Amino acid sequence: MRIGVLTGGGDCPGLNAVIRAIVRKGVPQYKFEFVGFRDGWRGPLEGLTMTLDIPAVRGILPRGGTILGSSRTNPFSVDRGVERIQETLMNKGVDALIAIGGEDTLGVATKLHDLGVHVIGVPKTIDNDLSGTDYTFGFDTAVGIATEAIDRLHTTAESHHRALIVEVMGRHAGWIALHSGLASGANVILIPEIPFDIEKVCDWVNSRFRTEYAPIIVVAEGATPKDGTMALVTGEKDAFGHERLGGIGEALAKEIEERTGKEARTTVLGHVQRGGTPSSRDRWMATRFGLHAIDAVHDGDWGKMVALRGAEVVRVPLSEATEKLKTVDPALYAEAEVFFG
**In the complex, which residues of this chain contact ligand F6P (CB under 6 A)?**
10, 102, 125-127, 169-171, 221, 245, 274
Question: Catalytic pick from 104, 127, 129, 140?
Answer: 127
**Alpha-carbon span 293 to 91, nearest angstrom:** 24
What DSSP character marks residue 270? G
Other CB atoms closer than 10 Å to residue 313's CB: what's the count? 17
127 catalytic residue (yes or no)? yes
Toward ligand F6P, which CB reaches closer, 274 or 315? 274
CB of 242 to ligand F6P, least distance (A): 7
For residue 118, what are the contacts with CB-CB under 8 A and spacing of at least 6?
A: 95, 96, 97, 300, 302
Q: How far apart are the first and last CA of the chain?
A: 59
For residue 248, what are the contacts with CB-CB under 8 A and spacing of at least 6?
A: 167, 219, 221, 222, 223, 224, 230, 231, 232
257 touches 215 (CB < 8 A): no
At what angle are helices 139-160 and 280-299 packed, to 10 degrees? 160
* Spatial CA neighbour of 149 closest among 128, 130, 169, 170: 169
For residue 137, what are the contacts with CB-CB under 8 A and spacing of at least 6?
A: 12, 13, 14, 17, 18, 124, 278, 282, 283, 285, 286, 289
- The type of residue at 335 is E
User: For residue 130, which phi and psi values (nearest 5 degrees)?
Assistant: -90, 135
Distances (CA, A) of 159 to 109, 162, 212, 259: 51, 8, 11, 22
Active site residues: 127
